[in-house]
């Protein structure tokens, strides 16, 4: 809506709105502020100065975090699992979504409907049988078992989102490509994918965020310390350094900064992607 | 061959989904009818379900999931109010949107650990309250069974409400401006605009949001509980997911865990179905 009236009038009439928004922004930002400033405090300073900006900022908490190389190992595991499952889900979902959106075949509607139903199934329901499968196949405590699970869990949403995006690719473009002798796979790769770049970036970001933050599957299927993901590792950290809060906070800060950077860089896509399912 | 082509495109997806979703759900349903011990299975009929519903811990877990649903209307209200404020062109709305959405992208373990330090008995919330002379408000937020569940709920709301704000705002920005212009020409007041235009236009998005959040409260709170309370103190924050995890992986009672999974799945399905029934009826009227 268009704001009316003089600037002064606007400020007064918007005053209560600004107050409310500032209050909520403060609530959102405070835990993050607390996290980051604490990471730079010594144990002693933290006890004396809970809220304030560190008066004698130190970096040794970060050194403690990296000591022994566990943290870097967990970080590498998370990156590997995230990259692997996001990529696998993307390739598989692209092919399936293309078929659902642009091909005629028997069973299309019921199978697509199944995808929507799968989205509401709590992952915890599948965990016990999956655990037994992984034991039977002797792939418990391996990356590929977890990549398989993550790929599966993110597929329904990815297919759904990509298919609704592909539906907007005009049939005329596809028809003319087909007349030129392009086959389906070529059309998908050289026409549909470039046209759907925003949807693809969205899927990649949303799935990456989901896998990066996942805990249940990571706790159950990767039980060896050297295989743990960063998020599971952080909970280990918390119990290990329970008395040294600044060290834990340094670990959390290091785990959070990449995500914040990704968020502020790709904000447009995050927001678009997360609301894409509902707003047409 | 041409007729088989579409199936080749969907085959990889179906194969993965069969392994990750279809087989496990069928297997869990089967397992829920068996007693499993030492790798041996014996048919138990509804025995697992009977012992499940006689287990006060499971009943409490379900009750807690139900209580957590209180967060849904709270988040809906916050999301609507803040989205409307941002939509009305408050100065700096883009910056506010980024900030309000930020908690949503943070990892639950990070959020959970930070908040468990904030809410500790000697954490910064209580220290702050003591510092300004409000000692009587200080409490053991996560350590006492009176407050723990509500504290967990607060953290869930803190992390998730921004999604509603962004969702509603995106929908509002796609409402045709003529609607609002017509309303202001006819001299409609702020409340009238809110109830006659804004909320009806948002109806489908609100429904979507409610469904997503109901699912979240029933089956996506494991992470919070795992990180902040481990279900304690004294099962005060036990929820269905955590119960399934404990029964299945700590106590190795797979039959019970499978039965609990089926109950959780059924409750989720019933709530979602009821929800779409109700809205369909409203639309018909």
The verdict on A266 and A178 lying in the same domain is yes
CB contact under 8 A, A216 and B241: yes
Q: Residue A280: is its pLDDT beyond 50?
A: no
CB contact under 8 A, A122 and B268: yes
The number of folded domains in chain A is 2
Residue A6 lies in a domain: no
The verdict on A45 and A159 lying in the same domain is no
**pLDDT (tens digit per residue) in A32-82:** 999 999 999 998 898 888 888 888 888 999 999 898 788 999 999 999 999
The verdict on A201 and A181 lying in the same domain is yes
The verdict on A178 and A95 lying in the same domain is yes
Q: Which residue has the tokens 């047409």?
A: A280
**CA of B233 vs chain A CAs: smallest distance (Å):** 17
Residue A8 lies in a domain: no
CA distance B177 to B189: 16
Contact A203, A90 (CB under 8 A): yes
- Single pTM value for the model: 0.89
Say if residue B67 is exposed, middle or buried (CB neighbours under 10 Å; 0-12, 13-18, 19+): middle
Domain ranges across chain B: 32-284
Contacts of A235 (CB under 8 A, 6+ apart): A215, B109, B113, B226, B227
Q: What average pLDDT does the segment A187-193 reach?
A: 78
Name the CATH code of domain B32-284 (choices 2.60.40.420, 1.10.10.10, 1.20.1440.230, 1.10.3720.10): 1.10.3720.10
CB contact under 8 A, A220 and B249: yes
pLDDT at B44: 87
The verdict on A174 and A45 lying in the same domain is no
pLDDT at A76: 94
Residue A5 lies in a domain: no
H or E element in which residue B11 lies: helix B5-17
- Residues 123-152 in B contacting A (C-alpha not used; CB under 8 Å): 124, 127-128
Cβ-based contacts of B244 with chain A (< 8 Å)? 124-125, 127
CB contact under 8 A, A124 and B261: yes
B168: number of Cβ within 10 Å: 27
pLDDT at A119: 85
Q: What average pLDDT does the segment A230-255 reach?
A: 87
What SS3 state is found at B8?
Answer: helix
CATH number at residue A169: 1.10.3720.10
Residue A4 lies in a domain: no
**pLDDT (tens digit per residue) in A8-31:** 666 666 788 889 999 999 999 999
pLDDT at B207: 85
3-state secondary structure A33-45: HHHHHHHCCCHHH
Residue A133 lies in a domain: yes
**CA of B140 vs chain A CAs: smallest distance (Å):** 17
Burial string for B266-279 (b: 16+ CB within 10 Å, else e) reads: ebbeebbeeeeeeb
**pLDDT (tens digit per residue) in A127-140:** 999 999 999 999 99
The verdict on A139 and A46 lying in the same domain is no
The verdict on A109 and A188 lying in the same domain is yes
CB contact under 8 A, B10 and A111: yes
CB contact under 8 A, B27 and A129: yes
Nearest residue, CB atoms, B25 vs list A126, A245, A256 = A126
Closest residue of chain B to A156, computed from CA coordinates: B17
The verdict on A78 and A34 lying in the same domain is no
**pLDDT (tens digit per residue) in A150-177:** 999 999 989 998 998 888 877 777 777 7
Contact A119, A206 (CB under 8 A): no
The verdict on A214 and A110 lying in the same domain is yes
pLDDT at B39: 74
**CA of A229 vs chain B CAs: smallest distance (Å):** 12
Print the domain residue range for A28.
Answer: 20-58
ipTM: 0.88
Q: Which residues of chain B have pLDDT under 50?
A: none
Residue A268 lies in a domain: yes
Q: What's CA A83's distance to the chain center, in Å?
A: 11
């Amino acid at each position: 809506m268009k704001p009316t009236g003089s600037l002064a009038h606007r400020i007064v009439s918007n005053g209560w709105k600004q107050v409310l928004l500032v209050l909520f922004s403060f609530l959102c930002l405070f835990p993050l502020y607390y996290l980051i400033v604490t990471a730079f405090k010594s144990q002693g300073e933290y006890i004396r100065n809970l809220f304030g900006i560190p008066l004698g900022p130190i970096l040794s908490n970060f050194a403690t975090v990296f000591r022994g190389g566990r943290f870097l190992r967990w970080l590498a595991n998370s990156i590997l699992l995230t990259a692997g499952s996001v990529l696998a889900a993307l390739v598989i979902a692209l092919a399936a979504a293309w078929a659902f959106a642009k091909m005629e075949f028997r069973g299309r509607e019921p199978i697509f409907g199944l995808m929507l139903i799968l989205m509401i199934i709590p992952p915890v329901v599948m965990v016990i049988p999956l655990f037994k499968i992984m034991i039977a196949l002797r792939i418990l405590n391996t990356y590929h078992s977890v990549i398989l699970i993550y790929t599966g869990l993110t597929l329904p949403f990815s297919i759904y989102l990509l298919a609704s995006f592909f539906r907007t690719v005009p049939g005329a473009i596809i028809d003319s490509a087909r007349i030129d002798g392009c086959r389906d796979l070529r059309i998908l790769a050289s026409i549909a994918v470039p046209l759907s770049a925003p949807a693809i970036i969205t899927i990649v970001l949303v799935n990456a965020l989901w896998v990066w933050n996942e805990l249940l599957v990571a706790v159950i299927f990767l039980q060896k310390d050297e295989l743990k993901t960063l998020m599971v590792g952080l909970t280990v950290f918390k119990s290990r350094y329970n008395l040294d809060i600044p060290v834990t906070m340094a670990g959390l800060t290091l785990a959070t900064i990449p995500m914040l950077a990704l968020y502020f860089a790709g904000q447009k896509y995050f927001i678009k992607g997360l609301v894409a399912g509902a707003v047409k | 061959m041409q007729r088989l082509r579409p199936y080749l495109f969907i085959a990889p997806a179906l194969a993965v989904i069969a392994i990750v979703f279809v087989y496990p759900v069928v297997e869990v349903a089967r397992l829920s009818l068996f007693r499993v011990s030492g790798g041996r299975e014996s048919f138990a009929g509804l025995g697992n379900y009977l012992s499940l519903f006689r287990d006060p811990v499971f009943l409490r877990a379900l009750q807690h999931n139900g209580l957590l649903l209180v967060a849904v209307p709270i988040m809906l209200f916050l999301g609507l109010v803040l989205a409307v404020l941002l939509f009305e062109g408050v100065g700096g709305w883009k910056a506010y949107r980024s900030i309000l959405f930020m908690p949503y992208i943070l990892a639950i373990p990070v959020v959970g650990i930070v908040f468990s330090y904030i809410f500790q008995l000697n954490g910064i919330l209580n220290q702050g309250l003591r510092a300004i002379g409000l000692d009587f408000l200080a409490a053991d937020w996560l350590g006492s069974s009176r407050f723990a569940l509500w504290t967990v709920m607060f953290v869930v709301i803190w992390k998730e409400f921004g999604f509603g704000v962004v969702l509603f705002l995106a929908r509002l920005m796609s409402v045709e401006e003529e609607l609002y212009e017509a309303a202001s020409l006819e001299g409609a007041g702020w409340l009238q605009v809110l109830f006659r235009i804004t909320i009806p236009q948002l109806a489908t998005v609100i429904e979507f949001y409610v469904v997503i959040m109901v699912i979240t409260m029933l089956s996506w709170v494991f992470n919070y509980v795992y990180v902040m309370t481990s279900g304690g103190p004294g099962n005060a924050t036990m929820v269905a997911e955590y119960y399934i995890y404990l029964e299945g992986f700590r106590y190795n009672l797979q039959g019970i865990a499978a039965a609990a999974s089926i109950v959780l799945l059924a409750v989720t399905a019933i709530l979602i179905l009821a929800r779409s029934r109700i809205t369909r009826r409203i639309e018909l009227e």
